[in-house]
Amino acid sequence: MRQRYCRMCGNWHELEAWPIECFKVTKAASDTLPVPYFISDTMEPTLHPLDQRHYTSKSTFERITREGGYETVGNDPARLRPPPKPKADKKAIKDSVQKAMARFRRGERVSGINS
């Protein structure tokens, strides 16, 4: 019987009857290659508010943002929100109300209500 020491669980197993759980861990560990740390360009699919598409590439997301004439504030693209809607034209509203008041003062009424 050939037994080997298992570094996963600290016990000895027969090579022909290696516990599956120890085998998996051993295999996974062997697949873990030392890789230098780097900032990945990939991210969770993120909805871009400008074109309503999902992107998994940070650089593409940023490009769409720049092409749309915007810039990302902070380091999280998801912080980008749709641009604020233009404020109501207060002057136009005021003019419209004043015109209506002027018509009212001239005696103009909506027909069918009081007549």
Q: Which residues bind Zn ion (CB under 5 A)?
A: 6, 8-9, 22
Q: Of 57, 48, 58, which is closest to residue 83 (Cα–Cα)? A: 48
To the nearest whole angstrom, how small is the minimum distance from the Cβ of residue 33 to Zn ion?
Answer: 22
Of 17 and 113, nearer to Zn ion (C-beta) is 17
Question: Is residue 44 classed as helix, strand or coil in its secondary structure?
Answer: strand
To the nearest whole angstrom, how small is the minimum distance from the Cβ of residue 34 to Zn ion?
Answer: 24
To the nearest whole angstrom, how small is the minimum distance from the Cβ of residue 70 to Zn ion?
Answer: 55
Q: Of 28, 3, 30, which is closest to residue 18 (Cα–Cα)? A: 3
